[in-house]
Amino acid sequence: MNSKQQTVRLSDGHFIPILGFGTYAPEEVPKSKATEATKIAIDAGFRHIDSAFLYQNEEEVGLAIRSKIAEGIVKREDIFYTSKPGENYLPTDENGKFIFDTVDLRATWEAMEKCKDAGLTKSIGVSNFNRRQLEMILNKPGLKHKPVCNQVECHPYLNQRKLLDFCKSKDIVLVAYSALGSHREKKWVDQNSPILLDDPVLGSMAKKYKRTPALIALRYQLQRGVVVLAKSFTEKRIKENM
């Protein structure tokens, strides 16, 4: 089977390509880079593109997809596009401190169900949910559509084994972001923590199989039945990841 088209069946009957292209980039990266990289990714065979309102690059990613449709490289129905709605995920007060609020996730989920029923989206899932939050949705009275996936940080240093087992038991696909290690942004990550791609075990396996540590980390997820996002804005690496 052509690896470019390998997919996993979602509980709603749609299919998600097992390898996705992540488009998030830190603020200092020009947004135009997202257009360039997404075009390269589609040419390399990626059909699953992951973005979000928060990344502030959906317009640029959309331009890339449109141009590849116009060139006849892909049809719209070939592309599995993931967005994450929401205007201001991380509101802060005048001192830059996060403002917390109590939101009933079940009410948000009902709004997502309406979007699916209205035909605005084909599939609906969640991101960064733990088991307790997933159960809150799954046990909701009057649930119409259950989440088809849960996108979380997942890599050999944070393998999410318990969450993966739970998701599998509920027919929810786990989608791994930061699969090659996190972005190491100073505000989130301890700069002294080890760098995944420098890991000696990954390094020795890469040597043994004549691959890169990144490819070993991606393959690890695929063998566990996890849909994995690979993020790179470098042409050589985008092609190598596919």
Q: Which residues of 101-122 are buried (b: 16+ CB within 10 A; e: fewer)?
A: eeeeeeeebbebbeebeeeeee
| Catalytic positions, written as ranges | 55
d(CA 229, CA 23): 9
The three-point CA angle 14-44-11 to 5° equals 10
